Amino acid sequence: MKKIEWEKVRAYIKKCIPPDPYGFSWLDILRVCFGLDVLIMAVVLVNEFVGPADKSMEINAVFLVTALMILLMPASPMFHPKTIIEGNVVSALLASASIYIFPESNIAMILSVSASAIAMYALKCFQPTALMLALFISTGKITNYYFALYPVFADSVVLVIVAYIYGQITKHPYPAKIKSQ
């Protein structure tokens, strides 16, 4: 029976895997993937514990993308805790208002996204995934303003708190401080 030479196997596997163009190590990729699972699981569990809101499962896509961006760019001002919470709530309120004003029109989708972008920019809480949230709310025709409180505000707070805790555990703090040059 022939003995397996693990160094040759490892060298062959390493040769087959292309280098990461973004500079992430395999350990960083695993940390991000596991963290993504932890963050979105926390949001889903809170929604299950509190009780399902109308269309709350559809907006989990927004929180999934936000969680990914938190883990990939923890120092970005677009994914700072204040920006996430304020941007999501502003977008949810403006999207609900757009649907209330134009209930049976595609104009509401355009109005909700553009109004959200302008408001977030003016309030200095611009967050790209909040625009996706405004689009989901307007396509789902959600006119209930309480939707901005639960699940949008609640899920945003849960996401930020769990990201902070996960960052402390993994020694990759969130929100990260920008390194001075």
**CB half-sphere exposure, 120, CA atoms < 13 A:** 32
In a domain, 157, yes or no: yes
Q: How many residues does the chain have?
A: 181
What pLDDT was estimated at residue 89? 98
Domain housing 102 = 25-170
* Element spanning 68, H or E: helix 60-72
Using alpha carbons, select from 31, 175, 39, 156 the residue that is nearest to residue 90: 156
Residue 94, in any domain of the structure? yes
DSSP 8-state assignment for residue 58: T
Query: Based on the structure, what is the number of domains in the chain?
Result: 1
Please indicate, yes or no, if residue 179 is contained in any of the structural domains.
no
| Domain presence at residue 4 | no
What integer is the mean pLDDT of 56-76? 91
Contacts with 105 (C-beta within 8 Å, 6 or more apart), sequence order: none
Asked if residue 14 belongs to a domain, the reply is no
* Helices vs strands, H then E, count in the chain: 7, 0
Q: Is 17 within the bounds of a domain?
A: no
Share of the chain above pLDDT 70, in %: 94
- Each residue of 126-162: pLDDT tens digit? 999 999 999 999 998 999 899 999 999 999 999 999 9
Give residues with Cβ within 8 angstroms of 96, minimum separation 6: 137, 142, 143, 144, 145, 147, 148
Q: Is residue 8 part of a domain?
A: no
pLDDT at position 3 is 74
For residue range 9-26, what is the model confidence (pLDDT) as tens digits? 888 888 887 777 778 887
177 found inside a domain: no
* CA separation for the pair 23, 37 (Å, rounded): 22
Instruction: DSSP for 2-36, please give it.
Output: PPP-HHHHHHHHHHHSPPPTT---HHHHHHHHHHH
Closest CA to 48 of 40, 125, 37: 40
CA distance 101 to 95: 10
